[in-house]
């Protein structure tokens, strides 16, 4: 845990510029409860009539991934960072930290929406969300790494179902 606090405080020192923090807050706000991803999924369903069912299934997959993250948090019960070297720069709905639900829902959305858009979204969407949680001091590095891994796995499971339904 000491090593993670060190990494977290170093990230904050290196990226603590007010514009970076403001951007991190915006990214974090978008990902709160997966709401931004859910809205994008519903927009996809509304705009892409040909793949409407797939967009809806993907959106439910994102919602399910967020729910899974909350369930894991309640089992693990790891507390958020609490050290004088870490500045907490955003509010959170709970004190539970592992895994980052923002990371889970973002990774799931990236995997699922990549399939529907034909573009590889993971490298574009996931890193900014993970970094935002560290910049804001609300997660340990392993919280966001585990969250991204869990979201990617859950997204691939739903994607496999979509691929099977399409074939």
- Count CB neighbours of 161 within 10 A: 12
What pTM was estimated for this model as a whole?
0.95
Does CATH place domain 2-166 in 1.10.606.20?
yes
Write down the pLDDT at residue 166. Answer: 66
**What is the residue extent of each domain of the chain?**
2-166
> Which residues of the chain are modeled with pLDDT < 70?
166-167
| Cα(8)–Cα(87) distance, integer angstroms | 9
Bridge-partner residues for 96, per DSSP?
79
């Amino acid at each position: 845990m000491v090593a993670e606090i060190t990494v977290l405080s170093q990230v904050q020192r290196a990226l603590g510029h007010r514009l970076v923090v403001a951007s991190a807050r915006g990214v974090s706000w978008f990902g709160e409860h997966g709401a931004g991803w859910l809205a994008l999924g519903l927009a996809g369903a509304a705009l892409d009539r040909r793949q409407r069912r797939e967009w809806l299934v993907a959106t439910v997959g994102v919602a399910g991934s967020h729910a899974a993250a909350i369930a894991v948090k309640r089992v693990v019960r790891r507390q958020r960072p609490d050290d004088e070297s870490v500045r907490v720069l955003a509010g959170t709905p709970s004190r539970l930290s592992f895994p980052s639900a923002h990371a889970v829902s973002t990774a799931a959305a990236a995997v699922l929406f990549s399939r529907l858009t034909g573009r590889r979204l993971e490298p574009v969407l996931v890193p900014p969300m993970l970094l935002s949680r560290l910049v804001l001091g609300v997660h340990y590095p392993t919280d966001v790494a585990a969250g991204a891994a869990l979201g990617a796995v859950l997204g691939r499971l739903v994607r496999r179902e979509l691929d099977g339904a399409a074939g």
